[in-house]
């Protein structure tokens, strides 16, 4: 019976040491990656003679303005009964004011569409990095030399905040099959053709004078007196 405490002491020390193990990451690859989520907004519009009914285009424009419609949003029309063939042009005209093109008609409807009605659906993607900031390793001992648990949070959160179209994080946009070398090298040619700044390549002008560098020189000499 007296040996039990002696046998339990090493086990207790192991449990205490295990609780103090670092919460960092074993390598440089961060576990905090951007996650893209999508939200859908829908608006049902009345039809009249195959087109949008009176004032429905204004209602659509106000709805789009309240959503702050812009680049990265995807807009489609749901018309399962095919009652609004000319309404597509009306919707496209309103959506075009926000710099967007109307996508192809969706073959799947979220819920039944009422007769003499079409549905405009806006799909918006957002990118975020869950679990950041992660400061667990700042309060735990690290005996293995791991990287910080917060590794990658800053750069990936900035990337998620700055990317114009979050869906590009899932699948990037392929580049053009061809390129114009003249356009691609225009900036380099202009830089090489410009004279050095010591030979008059850059001219400093007085913002208070309508003339060139002479006005600036006069202002400088006057101040020196």
Provide the residue-wise pLDDT of the chain in tens; the chain has 225 residues: 455 444 444 544 444 444 445 566 677 778 888 999 999 999 999 999 889 999 999 999 999 999 999 988 999 998 888 888 889 999 999 999 999 998 876 666 677 888 899 999 999 999 999 988 888 877 767 677 778 888 889 899 999 999 888 888 888 777 777 777 888 788 888 888 877 777 766 565 666 765 544 444 444 444 443
Tokens of 148: 């910080």
Query: CA 121 to CA 59: how far, in whole Å?
Result: 14
Q: How many domains does the chain have?
A: 1
Structural domain contains residue 198: no
Q: Does 54 reside within a domain?
A: yes
Residues of the domain holding 73:
39-125
Check: CB of residue 62 under 8 Å from CB of residue 186. no
Question: In this structure, how many other beta carbons lie within 10 angstroms of the beta carbon of residue 119?
Answer: 20
Gap between the Cα atoms of 166 and 127, Å rounded: 6
pTM of the model: 0.59
Kind of pairing between the strands at 74-78 and 117-128: antiparallel
45 inside domain: yes
- Within a domain: 120: yes
Establish if 111 belongs to a structural domain: yes
């Amino acid at each position: 019976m007296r040996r039990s405490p002696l046998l339990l002491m090493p086990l207790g020390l192991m449990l205490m040491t295990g609780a103090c193990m670092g919460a960092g990451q074993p390598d440089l690859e961060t576990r905090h990656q951007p996650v893209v989520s999508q939200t859908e907004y829908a608006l049902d519009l009345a039809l009249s003679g195959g087109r949008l009914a009176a004032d429905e285009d204004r209602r659509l424009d106000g709805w789009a303005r309240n959503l702050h419609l812009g680049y990265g949003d995807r807009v489609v029309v749901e018309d399962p009964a095919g009652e609004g063939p000319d309404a597509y042009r009306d919707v496209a005209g309103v959506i075009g004011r926000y710099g967007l093109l109307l996508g192809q008609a969706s073959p799947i409807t979220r819920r039944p569409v009422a007769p003499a009605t079409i549905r405009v659906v806006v799909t918006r993607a957002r990118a975020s990095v869950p679990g950041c900031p992660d400061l667990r390793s700042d309060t735990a001992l690290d005996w293995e030399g791991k990287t910080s648990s917060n590794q990658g949070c800053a750069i990936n959160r900035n990337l998620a905040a700055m990317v114009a179209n979050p869906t590009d994080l899932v699948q990037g946009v392929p580049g053009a099959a061809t390129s114009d070398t003249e356009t691609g090298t225009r900036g380099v040619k202009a830089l090489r053709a410009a004279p050095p700044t010591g030979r008059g390549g850059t001219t400093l002008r007085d913002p208070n004078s309508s003339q060139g560098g002479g006005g600036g020189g006069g202002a400088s000499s006057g101040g020196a007196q």
